[in-house]
Amino acid sequence: MSAIDTLWEYLAVAVGIIVVVGGIALGLMRGRGGRTKELPPTPPSSAPGGPAVDVDAAPEGAIGTLERPGSTDVLEPSVVEPELEAVPPAPAPVPTIERPEAPAGRLRRLRARLARSNTALGKGLLALLSGGRLDEAAWEEVEDTLLAADLGVAATTDLVDALRTKVAVEGTTDEATVRGWLREELLTLVDPTMDRSVVSSRVDGRPACVLVVGVNGTGKTTTVGKLARVLVAEDKDVVLGAADTFRAAAADQLQTWGERVGVPTVRSDRDGADPAAVAFDAVRAAAEMEADVVLVDTAGRLQNKVGLMDELGKVKRVIEKQSPVDEVLLVLDATTGQNGMRQAEVFSQVVGITGIVLTKLDGTAKGGIVVAVQRELGVPVKLVGLGEGPDDLAPFDPEAFVDAILD
> What is the per-residue pLDDT across 340-372, written as a single tens digit (0 to 9) for each?
778 888 888 889 999 999 988 876 657 788 888
Which has more confidence, 104 or 373?
373
Asked whether residue 186 is marked as a ligand-binding residue, the answer is no
Residue 147 has pLDDT above 70, yes or no: yes
Predicted TM-score (pTM) of the model is: 0.73
**Known binder of ligand: residue 297?**
yes
User: Do 323 and 298 touch, CB atoms closer than 8 A?
Assistant: no
Q: Is 299 annotated as a binding residue?
A: yes
Task: Give the Cα separation of 275 and 298 in Å (integer).
Answer: 8
In one-letter notation, the amino acid at residue 34 is: G
Burial of 353 (0-12, 13-18, 19+ CB in 10 A): buried
Residue 361 among known ligand-binding residues: yes
- Known binder of ligand: residue 360? yes
Tell me: is residue 36 an annotated ligand-binding position. no
Q: Please give the average per-residue pLDDT across 247-269, as a whole number.
A: 91
- Nearest-angstrom CA–CA distance, 364 and 381: 16
Helix (H) or strand (E) holding 31: helix 3-33
Beta partners for 384? 358, 394
Is 217 annotated as belonging to a binding site? yes
pLDDT digits (tens, 9 = 90+) for 288-328: 999 999 999 998 877 667 778 888 999 999 999 999 999 99
- Is 252 annotated as belonging to a binding site? no
Q: Is 282 annotated as a binding residue?
A: no
Q: How far apart are CA 23 and CA 27, in angstroms?
A: 6
Instruction: Name the pLDDT band for 74 (thresholds 50, 70, 90).
Output: very low
- For the chain, the average pLDDT equals 78
Q: How far apart are the first and last CA of the chain?
A: 148
pLDDT score, position 219: 86
Task: Express each pLDDT in 163-189 by its tens digit.
Answer: 889 888 888 778 788 888 888 998 999
At 57 the pLDDT is 44
Report how far residue 72's alpha carbon sits from residue 211's, in angstroms, rounded to the nearest whole number: 84
Flag whether 301 is marked binding: yes
Residue 264: pLDDT above 60? yes
* Strand-strand pairing, 208-214 and 265-266: unpaired
DSSP classification of residue 44: P
Q: Is 138 or 201 the better-scoring residue by pLDDT?
A: 201
Provide the residue count of the chain: 407
The answer to whether 188 is annotated as binding is no
- Which residues have CB under 8 Å from 265's CB, separation 6+? 239, 240, 241, 242, 251, 254, 255, 258, 259
pLDDT at 120: 59
Task: State the average pLDDT over residues 138-152.
Answer: 85
